[in-house]
Amino acid sequence: MSEYILEMRDVVFDYPGGIRALNGISMAIEKGKKIAVLGPNGSGKSTLFLHFNGILRPKSGKVFYRGQQIKYHRDYLVNLRKNVGIVFQDPDIQLFAGSVFQEVSFGPMNLGFSIPEVEKRVVEALKACGIEELKHRPTHFLSFGQKKRVSIADVLAMDPEVLVLDEPAAYLDPKHEQKLVELLEELCRKGKQVILSTHDVELAYAWADYVFVLKAGRLAAEGTPQEVFQNETLVKEADLRKPQLLEICDILKQKGFVFNKMPRNIPEFREELLIYVES
């Protein structure tokens, strides 16, 4: 049986004023898999994420971390938040300190590390995000892409086991998005559990091992990207779009093309084409 790192059972959550954000969600996140959560705006993605580290407490239902039910008392939450780090969508809200160095040191300082250890972690986190040269810059002089990377370094400096990113690719230019994907790949290789939410079906298809689709506070579907995106009715119902690469592959398949393995990105696609042409 596979091991689950985070699990939710029948979670219901209402915002003040009775707005139902989560309407009975059950999901289990398998350890070591790259997870993407898809869904239209207002489908409850951000609310869901805030349940992962105990910021929000479900009205009913249970949340489990490493098979253990989350308890909402201080000691447990401190430990949970150390292990599950959230990168928020808007870096202008997450970044509060005057300089980048101060900003990134906030998390590890809260964890009570010694000063040299905090320093080491800050430098490592900045290096991992490729922004060492911004160390002593004031936060308000950074560009959006830089702020985004600082907000990721913020959480990396705490060295969490699970990294949750809310719309990490939003507003990023293609180059920075590419760099972000590379950074996420690197983190996964190092054994971090990465969970992200996105609207970008191409990104989800190319990157994720497993996707969850949310709609109106419910889980509309889950499965591997191939399974989910090939289900035409589901794609339509969840307001998604079929990834273009998958669309092309399907057309080729209809024309009698045989794939050894469904390609998930352009290099894989090119390889498949070459194999086909040669045979």
Count interface residues toward other proteins (CB under 8 A): 40
Q: N- to C-terminal Cα distance for the chain? A: 40
**Of 104-133, which residues contact other proteins (CB under 8 A)?**
105-107, 109-111, 115, 118-119, 122
Locate 129 and state its tokens. 């995000």
Q: Give the nearer residue to other proteins in terms of CB position, either 95 or 240.
A: 95
**Of positions 31, 137, 199, 242, contacts other proteins by CB under 8 A:** 137
Site for other proteins contains 43 (CB under 8 A): no
Q: By rule CB under 8 A, what string of x and - marks binding of each residue 44-83 to other proteins? A: ------x--x-x----------------------x--xx-
Q: Give the nearer residue to other proteins in terms of CB position, either 149 or 264.
A: 149
By CB atoms closer than 10 A (0-12, 13-18, 19+), residue 224 is middle
d(CA 159, CA 203): 25
Annotate 93-159 with DSSP letters as a single string: HH--SSBHHHHHHHHHHHTT--HHHHHHHHHHHHHHTT-GGGTTSBGGG--HHHHHHHHHHHHHTT-
Q: Give the nearer residue to other proteins in terms of CB position, either 93 or 277.
A: 93
d(CA 117, CA 159): 12
Q: Give the nearer residue to other proteins in terms of CB position, either 13 or 207.
A: 13
Q: Give the nearest distance from C-beta 101 to other proteins in angstroms.
A: 6
Q: Give the nearest distance from C-beta 147 to other proteins in angstroms.
A: 11
Site for other proteins contains 139 (CB under 8 A): yes
Q: Give the nearest distance from C-beta 110 to other proteins in angstroms.
A: 4
What is the C-alpha R_g of the chain? 20
Stretch that binds other proteins, among 6-14, 153-161, 206-214, 255-263 (CB under 8 A): 153-161
Locate 54 and state its tokens. 């105990």
Q: Give the nearest distance from C-beta 165 to other proteins in angstroms.
A: 12
**Of 76-105, which residues contact other proteins (CB under 8 A)?**
78, 81-82, 85-86, 88, 90, 92-99, 101-103, 105
Phi, psi of 78 (to 5 degrees): -60, -45
Site for other proteins contains 141 (CB under 8 A): yes
Annotate 193-245 with DSSP letters as a single string: EEEEEES-HHHHHHH-SEEEEEETTEEEEEE-HHHHHH-HHHHHHTT----HH
Q: Give the nearest distance from C-beta 267 to other proteins in angstroms.
A: 36
201's CB contacts (< 8 A; 6+ apart) are: 38, 229, 240, 241, 242, 243
Q: Give the nearer residue to other proteins in terms of CB position, either 48 or 246.
A: 48
Q: Give the nearer residue to other proteins in terms of CB position, either 26 or 99.
A: 99
Residue 139 near residue 92 (C-beta atoms within 8 A): no
Binding residues vs other proteins (CB under 8 A) = 50, 53, 55, 78, 81-82, 85-86, 88, 90, 92-99, 101-103, 105-107, 109-111, 115, 118-119, 122, 136-141, 154-155, 158
